[in-house]
Amino acid sequence: VYPPESARWNRLEADCRDIAQRFGYGEIRTPVFEATELFRRGVGETTDIVEKEMYTFLDKAGRSMTLRPELTAGVVRALLEHKLLAQGAQRLYYIGPFFRYERPQAGRYRQAHQFGVECFGVAGAEADAEVIQIAAMLIARYGIGEAALNINSVGDPVCRPRYREALLAHFRPHADTLSADSQRRLERNPLRILDSKDSLDAALVATAPTMVEYLCDDCRAHFDALRRYLDALGIAYAINPKIVRGLDYYTRTVFEFVSGAIGAQGTVCGGGRYDGLVAELGGPPTPGVGFGLGLERFLMVVEKVAGEHAPPRRGIQAIALGEAARERLIAIVGALRERSPEPAFADWQDRKLTAHFKTADRNRARWAVILGDQELALDQIVLRDLIAREDRQLPLAGSAAEVARILVEATG
């Protein structure tokens, strides 16, 4: 990622941070690799991630390490190691890379980046609505409201076993017609079949019983509360019984924001509640809810839906024509850079004026200052407005700092 694309990343990351802090979430930074065992337990043995997508290696001491395939497990490991859960609810966000051994294609990479949030210690659906609002706000800020929110409940250890039985009863009689992946999932984790994109599975998946029919009273009350809160926040959603999420540790709420703008890889953000995770990783039973939002996919959707906007012109291109002018301008540009947060671009090579203007356009400079022998003789410096294409003469009097001050004033 390099300029000008990296500027889009900077803006998006700044917006993620801005929105997270509005909700009282603080940043957590965890290591890029952890012990493999953490992900086996924290992500789940029957997930695609653990079954086939992890970058796992032995370190020099023979320990099995894994490049993080998602960030939640590492966050929980850190919370436990630093005993942060003892302080009460934890609201955290992260931005960083994760790694999955997948077939690379548009919107699917082996190193990708997520913005994610985690809220630990709040059992009620208020927390679910809160994290969903964070993602919804980011999506709205970028004008990609077509990315639709789908929600579902996957129940809890009370009601999911009954649903699992119902699914087995539905799929088993036709097991031989299922895709190979789904046949493998049938006994291990039949919920995952609902997630299948294989056309062999489509008909049976379409007629499968849905979790919402099997929810226990507590899970139903939680789901109903979430729906009321989303309505109260003015966040539109659809209930989609096919959303189960790939990770084993989800309980109750699961959700995705899905865009139709970029084809098959349209899930921009996925999340849900994982009330069993902290205990699974050896901590005190602690509810949790959060999401991961893929920054690459988000930017792809923005480009498709909102169009590519040329970045606004900013700053000053300094153009010296000749050796004497260069000597003088170096000090002025140095002073400008100390004085103004706007960029001061300078290409000190001996080139024609038109070549310098091309560079200014490529830098998307807002102004140019031009200094040559003629201007030096008149004690003037030319300030060109690169949008209006108009020139002004400014006095070249006093120290470099004084000229810089005049330039900052004239371009402010």
Residues that bind ligand ATP (CB under 6 A): 70, 100, 102, 107-109, 112, 114, 246, 265, 267-270, 292, 294, 296-297
Q: How far is the CB of 257 from ligand ATP (least distance, A)?
A: 8
Q: How far is the CB of 406 from ligand ATP (least distance, A)?
A: 49
Q: How far is the CB of 265 from ligand ATP (least distance, A)?
A: 6
Closest by alpha carbon to 98, among 303, 262, 297, 257? Answer: 297
The residue (of 135 and 360) whose beta carbon lies closer to ligand ATP is 135
The residue (of 109 and 237) whose beta carbon lies closer to ligand ATP is 109
With residue 343 as reference, give the H or E element that holds it: none
Type of residue found at 184: R
CA 29 distance to own-chain centroid: 15
The residue (of 196 and 267) whose beta carbon lies closer to ligand ATP is 267
DSSP code, position 33: E
Tell the burial category of 15 from Cβ atoms under 10 Å away from its Cβ (0-12, 13-18, 19+): middle
Instruction: Indicate the SS3 state at residue 326.
Output: helix
Q: How far is the CB of 107 from ligand ATP (least distance, A)?
A: 6
Whether residue 346 contacts residue 317, with contact meaning beta carbons closer than 8 Å, is answered with yes
Q: How far is the CB of 95 from ligand ATP (least distance, A)?
A: 12
Closest by alpha carbon to 23, among 97, 133, 120? Answer: 133
What is the rounded CA–CA span in Å between residue 287 and residue 89? 9
Type of residue found at 141: R
| Residue whose entry in the numeric block shows the structure tokens 């004085």 | 339
Closest by alpha carbon to 369, among 313, 412, 297, 321? Answer: 321
How do 26-27 and 90-99 pair as beta strands?
parallel
Minimal CB distance to ligand ATP: which residue?
294
Q: How far is the CB of 292 from ligand ATP (least distance, A)?
A: 4
188: Cβ contacts below 8 Å, ≥ 6 apart: 46
The residue (of 194 and 268) whose beta carbon lies closer to ligand ATP is 268
Q: How far is the CB of 70 from ligand ATP (least distance, A)?
A: 5
What is the rounded CA–CA span in Å between residue 365 and residue 411? 12
The residue (of 87 and 111) whose beta carbon lies closer to ligand ATP is 111
Closest by alpha carbon to 156, among 214, 90, 225? Answer: 214
| Residue whose entry in the numeric block shows the structure tokens 């690459």 | 296
Q: List, in sequence order, every residue forming a beta bridge with 153; answer none if it has no partner.
A: 253
The residue (of 72 and 286) whose beta carbon lies closer to ligand ATP is 72
Q: How far is the CB of 283 from ligand ATP (least distance, A)?
A: 22
| Residue whose entry in the numeric block shows the structure tokens 């203007």 | 357
The residue (of 6 and 393) whose beta carbon lies closer to ligand ATP is 6
Whether residue 93 contacts residue 291, with contact meaning beta carbons closer than 8 Å, is answered with no
The residue (of 55 and 357) whose beta carbon lies closer to ligand ATP is 55
The residue (of 39 and 120) whose beta carbon lies closer to ligand ATP is 39
Q: How far is the CB of 131 from ligand ATP (least distance, A)?
A: 13
